[in-house]
Each structure stands twice: as C-alpha cells, then as structure tokens.
Structure 1
Amino acid sequence: MVSSAWLLALLGSSSQAYGLRARGPAYEAHPDRAAAVKEAFDRAWAGYYQYAFPNDSLKPISKSFQNDRNGWGASAIDALSTAIIMEDAAVIKQIVDYIPTINFDKSSNDDKVSLFETTIRYLGGLLSAHDLLSSGVSSGTYGINSTQLDAILNQATHLADNLKVGFDTPSGVPINDLLFEQPPRPDTSLTTNGLATIGTLVLEWTRLSDKTGKPEYADLSQKAESYLLNPKPASGEPWPGLLGTNVNVSNGNFMDSSGGWNGGTDSYYEYLIKMYLYDTSRFASYRDSWIEAADSSIKYLASNPSTRPDMTFLAAYNGRDDLSYRSGHLACFDGGNFILGGLTLDKPVYVQFGIELAYSCHETYTATVTGIGPEGFAWQDGSAANTSNNQPVPAEQANFYKESGFWITSGDYILRPEVIESWYYAYRATGDSKYQDWAWTAFKNINATCSTGAGFAEIKDVNAPNGGGFNDFQDSFWFAEVLKYLYMIQSEEAPWQVSATHDNQYVFNTEAHPIKVAGSPV
C-alpha cells in the first residue's frame, strides 16, 4: 500500500539493505513545479516586504503587519535559508543587508520573549544562513563578503547572550518566557517549563558553540537536556523513552505523565535523532533515547482507526492507562522523523513505520473539500482492547468518519508544513515519485485556497468551500518550512538535500533551517 520497489528491497535481507543504502534511491527533479513554488515564495515575499517589513508577519488581507515575534523581522529571518536554497539573489541581499540593523536588546511593545520560539526561528535562521552562505552551497554567488558573514554570526551570538539568562535557574532547566529589559531577565513567576520548549534548544545552541569556539552555549542547553535524558521521578517516563510534559525548573523533576508526539512535547523527540545525525561521536545517548521512544511509540501508541485499519496514527497518553485518540497537523511531522531515524540507523522498520504515518496524514488531506488537512482530528481505535478509551463519533461526522478514518476536531489550516515535511522525507528515503505528486497536489490546493490579498492567509475550515473564509495572517514559518519543503521535494540534488546514504551535510532544525553537520566538508 505505502511501499515502493526500492523500499521493498530495503526491507529484505540485511546484505541487500546495506547494498542499497550505499547507492541510495534515484530521484527525478521537476523544474516546472519547483519554479511554481518559487513564484509563490516571491509573491508572498513581495507582499511582506511592501506592507510588513521589517516587522514580523504580514496580514495579507488588510495589507498591514503584526509583531508576534518581538518585532525583529521574523518573516525575514525565517525566509533567508529558503531564499538561499532557491538561489533568490534579490531577496537574499535584502535580508542580509537588514540583519546588522536588528536591535536584539529590546522587544517590541515590551512583549515577553520565548526562548524556544526565538531559538528555532531567529537563532536557527541566522546560524543556518551563516552555514549556507559561508560554505560551498553558495560559493560566493551572491556577493556576500566576510564583513556581512561576520555580522550574521555576531548577531546570533549577541542574541544568545541575551537569551541565556533563561537558564539561570537552580537546576539549569530554563524558564521559557524572558523579559528583554536591560539587563534581560527570566519571568521568575513561572515554575515549570515544557518538554518541547526545553528539548528543542540543543541543536542551535550546540551549533553556536561549535561555530564560535565558546562552549558555554552548548553546555547550557545540554545540561538542560540531561534532565530529559535521565528523567525523574519514574512516573515521568510512563514507557521507556516516552516522557511527561511539564518539568519543574527548580529541580528538573517531571510534574506529570502526559505526553505524545503532539504540540508541547513533539520536537523533543525530533531533536534526539537529529543531534545524533549532527554528531554521531558526541550524541550517542541521544540516539539511544530516540530508539527507546520510537520502539515504545510503535508498541504502545500506534493506533488504527476502526473504519480504516489501513491508516496509523500515534495516540497521546496520560500515564499508561489513559490513551487519547486525538492528534493533528502539527503531529504529522512524526512520519518524517521516523523515516530519518531509520535512514540514520539503518533500521528499515522505522522507515516503514514512518511511511505508514506519512500515508495516514496524506489521507487527512484527500478527505476534505479543499484537499488540505485540518488542524485537529480524532478517531476511534480499532482494537477491542482499547474501546473503553474511545470517544464517540460526533453524529454529524459519522459518515465522514466511516469513509475517512478520522473526524475533524479543529477545521482551520494555519499554513502548517508538517504533512508535506513527512512526504519530503518519504521521497528522499524511497525515490517514489508519488510523494512528489502528493506535494504538488497539496501545493495547488493551498495556492488556490489560501492565496489572497498581498500573500497567503490561514483558512477557517478545510472542509468547507473556499476554506470557509480567511484569517488575516501569514506566519513566518510559511517561508521557512512550507515553501521550502514544497520546493525541495521537486528540485535538483544539492548538498542540503536529505541523503539516504549516510552522507548528510546538513540537518534541518524544527523550523526547517538547515544546520551544517559537525565535521562535514566546507
């Protein structure tokens, strides 16, 4: 159902598998499709640059702006790595010229600064741009000189120097919300932080240390991570590798046993295998924790909808005895992460499971009127042993559930990337062109439904004609993630493309900014 000839061969004998891994699948680029995605990027950028720059986000319908990420130009920084990958010289110049002017000492309207969001968007975006522009990827094509490169890294370092106050807690587990007064300080009224917001810092902060030669940034993030790799008390780890959500910042102890691969916990698991890919010599313990989480997820969380046993989703949990059969678009990155883990570890079972997840999230797209997947959905588990945990199907969606294998709990689409992200990894693992076709169909549907005003806007109901109307907002991750994955799956081979043959030069952070793998060639 979801396999290709290459994957079927991969799942054969170990000798056959390793031989194929050495060669990898064959890929075919579609320049016309890639060009169409680039046109959408340029259109969205033109609207942002005219009506919102240098503020954070475009409001495409009212042709105005919103400073939702502290007023430092989130869309510009998020767009830069995508512009480099697309070889969009004019946009690259506009953003690179802007970077030295950002005042990272003050937040707009005195808004609190999220350590997590600022790390994945701004710090990750700056580090990625520096990696890409100072490597053979760009080869000086864009006329970026050493002074401009230094400014990018200096701004990243200055930002981290302001952010690092978040780690000033008794345990070293950071407080996520910061006040950028002078000097910056954490919001000490907060006593807990979340699994994802603690565990999705280590790639960017370690990369900053590796680039600057200053170990303090890596040390801070890795100390915080240590509480997640060795969770206490035992109730904070209901199954091996699967953790609770909230952590006490005073002592690093878990406060609950609830979690899953959904928002609030998701990218912790994502970064475990990505840290091992970043540096296999330093982060073997991260690999081991990912394997535990992956194995437990397959054993305890994998769930087949009662009306569609061909589909697989991951349940959420509140301890061992209370599973919740609810998920959403945000969690659909999980297929891509399992695929990446399988490729990295030479474990076809993870690749296969990831492809099953990617297929199932694809089905959430094909079932709706717009051809776009919903923000939230639920299902009834098909196993009789779990029927006591199943919630009833809403009467008005009974027929929809019978055919689709899920029902919609939140029908909006906020320009999220995760489903397309998993198709990208499935394509890179198998070379199967159907994943390119899935992505192309999704692009056409998103372009037809979300394009409005000066850019692209969120829609209110994916299962209503024309998306049920718009929300006047274009998030910065539209540039960083959605358009990047849509472009990469159709484009030519390049050093930043994910490799199926153990020669990755980059690893993508959770905002899809490619970070240079430690020790990879310049």
Structure 2
Amino acid sequence: NQVLEMFDHAYSNYMEHAYPADELMPLTCRGRVRGQEPSRGDVDDALGKFSLTLIDTLDTLVVLNKTKEFEEAVRKVIKDVNLDNDIVVSVFETNIRVLGGLLGGHSVAIMLKEKGEHMQWYNGELLHMAKELGYKLLPAFNTTSGLPYPRVNLKFGVRHPEARTGTETDTCTACAGTLILEFAALSRFTGTSIFEEYARKALDFIWEKRQRSSNLVGVTINIHTGDWVRKDSGVGAGIDSYYEYLLKAYVLLGDDSFLERFNTHYDAIMRYISQPPLLLDVHIHKPMLNARTWMDSLLAFFPGLQVLKGDIRPAIETHEMLYQVIKKHNFLPEAFTTDFRVHWAQHPLRPEFAESTYFLYKATGDPYYLEVGKTLIENLNKYARVPCGFAAMKDVRTGSHEDRMDSFFLAEMFKYLYLLFADKEDMIFDIEDYIFTTEAHLLPLWLSTTNQTISKKNTTTEYTELDDSNFDWTCPNTQILFPNDPMFAQSIREPLKNVVDKSCPRGISRAEDSLGSGPKPPLRARDFMASNPEHLEILKKMGVSLIHLKDGRVQLVQHAVQAASSLDAEDGLRFMQEMIELSSQQQKEQQLPPRAVQIVSHPFFGRVVLTAGPAQFGMDLSKHKAGTRGFVATIKPYNGCSEITNPEAVKEKIALMQRGQCMFAEKARNIQKAGAIGGIVI
C-alpha cells in the first residue's frame, strides 16, 4: 500500500502539472518541454514531445492493478501523442522508453481484453503507433556496418537536409546493442520482419568486432568502420544492456546463438572484470589492467542479470556491497570509488538496485531483501519526496535536489518495488509469462512461437571452442549447491557487512574453536606458491580451487560450500581478498616494456631479432643496458618443470625450454639451480 501511495503521488502530479509534456519538474511543479528549458545536453535527447512519462508508465499501471487509470492513459496516448515531430532524439532512449512503452502497453492491453473485463474497445492502436515509430527509427540504420546512428530526427530521419543529425561517427555499445527485444517483438507482433533483421545485424556486427583475445567489447564504437573508440570495458554505462539483451533475447526468441554469445562474454566478465564484490572496468586489449578506479551506478543491474543467468553467489556479493554503499550515502551515487567514496554525487532516482533486489528475493526467498526494499522506500520518502512528486538528488552528501523526475522512475522503480512486496493474490496476471526489457516493459514469452520468419545467421563455427557445460545452458539449483543450509545467502553476505567501512567481522578464533585444535593458520596471499603441494592442500580446505588457464595463467575460485568448515570458508574469503589486493598492487606497478632476443652467432650475426616478454621477477632488464648475453642450451626435461638432468650442458648458458605444465617461476628456479644465467620460454 505504501508503494501504491508513492506511485499515486508521483503519477498524479505528473498528470496534473506536466502532461502532455515529456517529464515533470517536481521542484517548480511544471512540465519539462524541450526547447523551453535550458539544454541539459545529451540527457534531453530522451525528450521528443511525445508524452514520454505517460507512455513509459503504461504497463506499470496494470502491474499495480490500476486498470481504470490504464484504460484512461491508453485513450490519452492514442488521442494526444504525435510521433511526427521535427525533433532529434536518441535512438536508444526512444527505443527502450517509447517503443518499449507502446509494446508493453499493447502486451497488457490484449491480455486484459482477453480476460473480458477491460479494454474491450481496444483494437491494436498502441501497436500501430509502435510500428509507426519503428519505421521512424529505421533511417538511423543507414550505415555500412548496420550499427545505427545515435540520433534520428522523427520527421526527417538522418540524411535529410533538415534532419540536423547524421554527422556522428560513434555510438555506445549499449546504444547499438539494446534493440533486439523491442525490434523483434515489433516484428513478431506485426509480421513485419525488417525490424528484427536490422537489430540482429547490429548485434552480429558488435559480436564480430569483439576483442578476440579477451572476448570483451569496448564502450564506444565507430559506426562506419567498427573500430573501437573507447577501449575500456565493464558492465556499467555504455555497455550494460548489451549483455542484458543477449541473454534476454535467448529467453524471448529461443535462439541459441544469443545464449552462446552471452556465455562467451560472461566468462570474460567473470575472469577479468569481476573482482568480488567489485566490478571494475578493464582495457579490452590488456584485460588484466584496470581502466579506472571507480564504478558507476548503472552496474547495479548486473546482480539481477546474474540471477537470470543462475549465478547467484556473485550476485549476492555485489548486491550486498552496493547496499552497504547505499546505507552510507542514502542513495547510490552516480559513481563511487573502489574505497567507496563519492566520485559523482548525483542520483537521478535510478531503479537498477531495486531491480536486482527484486530478482534476488525471487531467487532466494530471503526476507533480508524485503528489508532492503523497505530501506529504499524509507529513503525515497525521507530524502527525495517533495510536494509535487519525487526529485532527483543533486548531491547525495548534502541532500540537495535537482528539478527532474525521469520517466524511468515511474516505469521501473515502482514496478520493481511493488513486485518485491506483492503476494500472488495482489497480481491480476502471471508476471512469469513476461520478460522485462531494460526499461522494465513487459513482453510476452509466447512471442518466440510467433512469426518465426527471420533468417538466423549461421554462427555454428564461431563457437567450436566453447565449454558446452551444463552451467552454460541451465540454471543451477541453489538447494543442491547449498544443501542443509537454507541461510546460504546470509552466509555469503556476512563477510561483506562492513566492506564499506574497510573492516571485516571478527570471526571465531582458532583458540576459541570448540574443536580445540583447528587446522593450520590461514595461508597468506603473499606466501602462496602454486607449486607447493602443502599450499594447495590448505587452499582445498578453505574451499579455494586452482584453475589453469590456456594462456598459462592460473585463476583462483572460492566456493565456500566446499570448505572443510565455516571457519575454513572465512579463511578462504580473507585469502581471496588478500589476493585481489595483491593483484591490484602488482597492476599498479610500472609495466615492463617489451624486450628482444637477438641471435649474434654464426650464421645470423645479429640479423635475427625476436620480440619477447620479460618476466615479472628476477633481473630488471630495464636497468641493464647490455641485457643478458650467452650461448643457448636446450634443457632436459624440455618443459623445465622438474630437476634438470643435463646441468653440465646448461651451466653458464641461457636455457631454452617449453611453455606450459608448470609456473614460470618454477621453471626459473630449476634452471637457476642447474647453473643457467637466463632462460627463454617458447
């Protein structure tokens, strides 16, 4: 009831003081009309003089069981909204908010009509408007790559002399990769295939241009050449919904290629970007290097996507970290640093954290997430509520407001908060029959069986190296993963309770352990050696496993449920945190420049120069101008992973050895013991 009252406060003020304007300005209690207010830059590209907030709110009205208001709103949209305005709008925002809003409204309208009580007069008018808008967006796709221009003129398109757009060369990955749900739904609803074809072509192009060694994508891309303009990669602003739409396109359309692409990207995200509980941007060509030391608030959607994927543990971890930030600042700042200080202080009432909270509650049934939802409601009422609606936060530190209430606040925030607390009898339809778009609009799952005329690109050969494990294709059963522990979510959250304050909860000491003599003291990250069997045994007890990657690196993964005891699991978590800090420190150190191996003996006499990567240990070659000089000898065994059996041939020479089967450091120790002055790994 409290959520309904809050929605009524926001919606009624928009309708009374702003409609038919696109948005409500809650501090001055009037509508925001583009061109009549000072420009806010790109933010205003969402406004197209098409009653944005009303269209964005249509299916929210039905979710909240406000069918009478929905019927009135649909009549207003049909009667008042004009989509033929001479105005330049964002293709991305218009797609997710307006096209998505019209399609979501149509989806619930036909559902209500079928039930026989409401909307009996409805004859697909919202779908007709959606199709009209779809055609107005198509000129943006007039590029050699198939990636759309970021902006389009609703009346004149892109190339027309009066369009005032079409000179852009770049777009964000999310801008081009967040079209498939709405465009495919429009094609399936209408039987007109061109929309889905255009959206698929854009996705295909982004996939082709991914960085092949890391399987990551950059933030912005040239729409004509496909070159990456911004080569940093993360799960926040500029990329976020691209990943979301790959997975959801598989759910909605049943096309395996979308799931295969998502799984490929997800593996890269968890390998490079995920540093639990953080999600830090990296460079696509050097994914082991962090690209920045702060995170933006849009990544708060990612735990919800991980729930849909079925990867619950990291979802719980990241969500808990975000919640601790919220408890510190009342809202999630637009950006915050890795030590949880405010980087950008604004908060435009974004719904992504509420979205992830809802999905985690659905997945776990843990009442903790209801308490999180109550905190969100209390903070909105206490800090953002004003007499004429809810106002965005200009600065979360001071509590100052900004005169804006974005349409997504009504489209998403109240939808997710209502669903979080709603019982089954509170719903007039089954929400499980629909999938949420990135703007939380509802598209029916039965679309996968409708108008399947779109030709799919044959991508079979692209996925031959994928690990086709069950976890890539199915969602794990958390009751099996965490047997005899109904409080598994709490056990994951607990070590993160004080992460923002940079202090860990004090666990039970070994001396206090009721068993008396517990396991050995925890292994410190700085002391760890992958070649030490004793260390590996300690890792195993702590639930930490060592994975050898194809490129010779190793990856550490902790599964607390596999630890010998809860105390060992805590030790494992501390070890992983130490390892993350140690890795971050190493990344901040100066990167060693490429070096060379030159063959100066007969018959080459220096003409053969091979590039090489220097080791991160041993002699600092940058401080030795002459480098290391000597004759080369092949060692036995060739992999260098055990004691060298021909030390007489290796002494005072540079050892030549094969890559793989053990750590570089282990090879170096073995050849050093044999008397070698250096080593070359091939």
Q: TM-score, length-normalised on structure 2?
A: 0.60
* Alignment of 1:80 onto 2:54: no
* Match of residue 446, structure 1, among 368, 373, 380: 380
Whether the aligned pair in 1 keeps the contact of 2:351 and 2:412 (CA below 8 Å) is yes
CA distance in 1: counterparts of 2:448 and 2:83, whole angstroms: 30
* Alignment of 1:290 onto 2:268: no
Check 1:358–1:276 CA distance in 2 against 1; reply closer, same or farther (3 A cut).
same
What does the per-residue CA deviation read over 1:232-272, in whole Å, with 9 as the maximum and x for residues that have no partner?
6xxx35522x2112222224343443221111111101111
Residue matched to 1:29: none
Residue matched to 2:440: 512
**Alpha-carbon deviation of 1:412?**
2.0
**Alpha-carbon deviation of 1:460?**
2.3
CA distance in 1: counterparts of 2:382 and 2:261, whole angstroms: 42
CA distance in 2: counterparts of 1:238 and 1:267, whole angstroms: 22
Whether the aligned pair in 2 keeps the contact of 1:62 and 1:453 (CA below 8 Å) is no
Which letter maps to 1:330?
Answer: L
Percent of aligned pairs sharing the same letter: 29
Residue matched to 1:322: 289
**Alpha-carbon deviation of 1:171?**
2.0
* Alignment of 1:356 onto 2:317: yes
Stretch moving more, 320-329 or 256-265: 320-329
Residue matched to 2:74: 96
Which letter maps to 1:239?
Answer: S
Runs of 4+ with deviation above 4 angstroms: 183-186, 494-498, 519-522
What does the per-residue CA deviation read over 1:343-364, in whole Å, with 9 as the maximum and x for residues that have no partner?
xxxxxxx122112111111111
CA distance in 2: counterparts of 1:154 and 1:161, whole angstroms: 11
**Alpha-carbon deviation of 1:322?**
3.1
**Alpha-carbon deviation of 1:137?**
8.9
CA distance in 2: counterparts of 1:238 and 1:511, whole angstroms: 32
CA distance in 1: counterparts of 2:416 and 2:204, whole angstroms: 31
Residue matched to 1:24: none
Residue matched to 1:474: 405
* Match of residue 370, structure 2, among 436, 441, 448: 436
Stretch moving more, 251-260 or 423-432: 251-260
Residue matched to 2:613: none
Check 1:326–1:520 CA distance in 2 against 1; reply closer, same or farther (3 A cut).
same
CA distance in 1: counterparts of 2:182 and 2:262, whole angstroms: 18
Q: Where do 1:361-440 residues align within 5 Å?
A: 361-368=322-329, 371-379=330-338, 401=339, 406-440=340-374
CA distance in 2: counterparts of 1:496 and 1:437, whole angstroms: 26
What does the per-residue CA deviation read over 1:20-40, in whole Å, with 9 as the maximum and x for residues that have no partner?
xxxxxxxxxxxxxxx111111
CA distance in 2: counterparts of 1:141 and 1:318, whole angstroms: 55
Residue matched to 1:11: none
Residue matched to 2:416: 485
**Alpha-carbon deviation of 1:140?**
3.9
CA distance in 2: counterparts of 1:478 and 1:103, whole angstroms: 23
Check 1:421–1:250 CA distance in 2 against 1; reply closer, same or farther (3 A cut).
same
Residues matched between the structures, number: 428
What does the per-residue CA deviation read over 1:128-167, in whole Å, with 9 as the maximum and x for residues that have no partner?
11111212697243334233xx210000000111111111
Which letter maps to 1:363?
Answer: Q
Residue matched to 1:146: 122
Residue matched to 2:275: 303
Residue matched to 2:48: 70
**Alpha-carbon deviation of 1:183?**
5.6
Check 1:375–1:505 CA distance in 2 against 1; reply closer, same or farther (3 A cut).
same
* Match of residue 390, structure 2, among 453, 456, 480: 456
Residue matched to 2:669: none
What does the per-residue CA deviation read over 1:175-233, in whole Å, with 9 as the maximum and x for residues that have no partner?
1111233466472211122100000011100000000001011001111110122226x
Which letter maps to 2:337?
Answer: A
Partner-residue secondary structure (3-state), 1:489: helix
Check 1:56–1:238 CA distance in 2 against 1; reply closer, same or farther (3 A cut).
farther
RMSD after superposition: 2.1
* Higher normalized helix content (fraction of residues): 1
Q: TM-score, length-normalised on structure 1?
A: 0.78
Partner-residue secondary structure (3-state), 2:446: coil
* Match of residue 257, structure 1, among 224, 231, 237: 231
CA distance in 1: counterparts of 2:104 and 2:320, whole angstroms: 30
Whether the aligned pair in 2 keeps the contact of 1:48 and 1:57 (CA below 8 Å) is yes
**Alpha-carbon deviation of 1:485?**
0.7
- Larger-gyration structure (1/2): 2
CA distance in 1: counterparts of 2:345 and 2:24, whole angstroms: 22
CA distance in 2: counterparts of 1:175 and 1:165, whole angstroms: 9
Check 1:62–1:225 CA distance in 2 against 1; reply closer, same or farther (3 A cut).
same
* Alignment of 1:243 onto 2:217: yes
Residue matched to 1:159: 133
Which letter maps to 1:285?
Answer: S
Check 1:211–1:143 CA distance in 2 against 1; reply closer, same or farther (3 A cut).
closer
Whether the aligned pair in 2 keeps the contact of 1:99 and 1:151 (CA below 8 Å) is no
- Unpaired segments ≥5 residues, structure 2: 34-43, 451-682
CA distance in 2: counterparts of 1:99 and 1:171, whole angstroms: 35
* Alignment of 1:229 onto 2:190: no
Residue matched to 1:266: 240
Residue matched to 2:109: 133
Which letter maps to 1:221?
Answer: A
Whether the aligned pair in 1 keeps the contact of 2:185 and 2:447 (CA below 8 Å) is no
What does the per-residue CA deviation read over 1:274-310, in whole Å, with 9 as the maximum and x for residues that have no partner?
1111122xx2111112112222222211225xxxxxx
Higher relative contact order (CA 8 A, sep 6+): 1
Partner-residue secondary structure (3-state), 1:421: helix
Check 1:90–1:325 CA distance in 2 against 1; reply closer, same or farther (3 A cut).
same
CA distance in 2: counterparts of 1:141 and 1:450, whole angstroms: 37
Check 1:129–1:357 CA distance in 2 against 1; reply closer, same or farther (3 A cut).
same
Whether the aligned pair in 1 keeps the contact of 2:408 and 2:439 (CA below 8 Å) is yes
